[in-house]
Amino acid sequence: MSDLRNDVGFLLTRASGLVVRATNAALSDLGLRVRQYSVLALADDSGEGIAQRDLAEELGLDPSQVVALVDELAAAGLVERRPSPTDRRPRLVVATPQGTQVRRRAASSAEGGVQRQMGDLSGEEQATLRGLLQRVVGGSVGRCRAGGELTE
Amino acid sequence: MSDLRNDVGFLLTRASGLVVRATNAALSDLGLRVRQYSVLALADDSGEGIAQRDLAEELGLDPSQVVALVDELAAAGLVERRPSPTDRRPRLVVATPQGTQVRRRAASSAEGGVQRQMGDLSGEEQATLRGLLQRVVGGSVGRCRAGGELTE
DNA sequence: CTCAATCGTTGACAATCTCCACGATATCGG
DNA sequence: CCGATATCGTGGAGATTGTCAACGATTGAG
């Protein structure tokens, strides 16, 4: 019962590693890695832009990691930093038109990579998995951050 | 529908990151990290010892990573390398008595860390999650290895 | 105005992943 | 037996990721 192959934590990291590899391979044609894609996707989804701090919070990254990722995406012309109209501290990250286009293609490629890894699961099973994972993730937002303490 | 928060791949890596952090925090008292613990657990479970190559295969790691991990565990006196009776190439990794003892405590601590992250899920839901993840992982063993090619 | 908090950034360092090459050993075909 | 090929552990290089501390600019509270 303490067998590693039945350990939910181990299975989670093992499955994650496999999916990340498959997704990175699928995105390599576009010159993107998963990390960059996730930043691009969030920036593209937030019409008026998203602060880097919120980006870090959503992705579970350290703010300093977001700096480098946005730098790379900006150098590739996929996103740009814009000032907030109401606060001069944050820098709102938005996707450029080219970024939106690349994101669309990347989403398709990434989906293919994920399906190569999860093809054995039916649509319904994947929905079940998604729901369970959302509760694991959502239940701890605010309880444990990247460099944060545990609230207990 | 392409929202990142509904993307199974993203949720998988996000949940994995949270669980790994919680588990590492729980194991820090024993001076262990998750990677080391997983090696120790597999070595402890295989009575006669497990070859480093098989260790790498099971854990989805590069063989060279296993070398360093076993070095660390051996330096701590938790495992030792023994020659195979039938083949002089592999080195079988087995847990020392102390390693077995530490592993038992570590398993308890790690379980606590995981539950702090997945407490919102009932036992039945965790079993469902485990089953789905096992199919994601098991379905690809042999299809995609650490440094390997995709078989298609 | 003063002080604490927030945001982005930089820098340093550890941990992890990926890939390549080598020596020792084993296996297979002839 | 012998040579070609494969396996296993190991070492090393380099990229990627994770963690942490500090700083300047800005904001908001008192």
User: Quick one: pLDDT at residue A138?
Assistant: 82
**How would residue A139 be classed by pLDDT, with cut points 50, 70 and 90?**
low
Nucleotide in closest CA–C1' contact with B81: D9
Q: Specify the higher pLDDT residue, B152 or B3.
A: B3
Beta strands in chain A (DSSP E): 50-51, 79-83, 91-95
ipTM over 0.85: yes
Which residue in B1, B5, B14 has the most chain A C-beta atoms within 10 A of its own C-beta, making it the best mutation to test that interface? Answer: B14
Give the pLDDT confidence of B92-117 residue by residue, as tens digits. 999 999 999 999 999 999 999 999 88
Give the three-class secondary structure for B40: helix
Strand partners, A79: A95
Nucleotide closest to A60 measured between CA and C1': D18
Q: What is the pLDDT of residues B25-59, one digit of tens each?
A: 999 999 999 999 999 999 999 989 999 999 999 99
Of B4, B11, B107, the CB nearest to A133: B11
Rg value, chain B, Cα? 17
Q: Note the pLDDT of residue A2.
A: 74
Residues in chain A with CB shorter than 8 Å from the CB of B140 are 18, 117
Distance from CA of B19 to the nearest CA of A (A): 6
For the segment B118-129, what is each residue's pLDDT rounded down to a tens digit? Answer: 878 999 999 999
Per CB-CB distance under 8 Å, the chain B contacts of A144 are 18, 21-22, 117
pLDDT band at A146 (very low <50, low <70, confident <90, very high): very low
Long-range Cβ contact pairs of A51-56 (< 8 A, separation 24 or more): A51/A84, A51/A90, A51/A91, A51/A92, A51/A93, A52/A90, A52/A91, A52/A93, A53/A90, A55/A93, A56/A146
Predicted local confidence at residue B102, as pLDDT: 97
Give A46's contacts in chain B (Cβ within 8 Å). Answer: none
Q: Which domains does chain A have, with CATH numbers?
A: 4-117 (1.10.10.10)
Q: B137–A14: do the CB atoms touch at under 8 Å?
A: yes
Q: Residue A60 CB: number of other CB atoms within 10 A?
A: 20
Q: What is the pLDDT averaged over residues B2-16?
A: 92
CB of B59 closer than 8 Å to CB of B41: no
Token pair recorded at residue A111: 């989906």
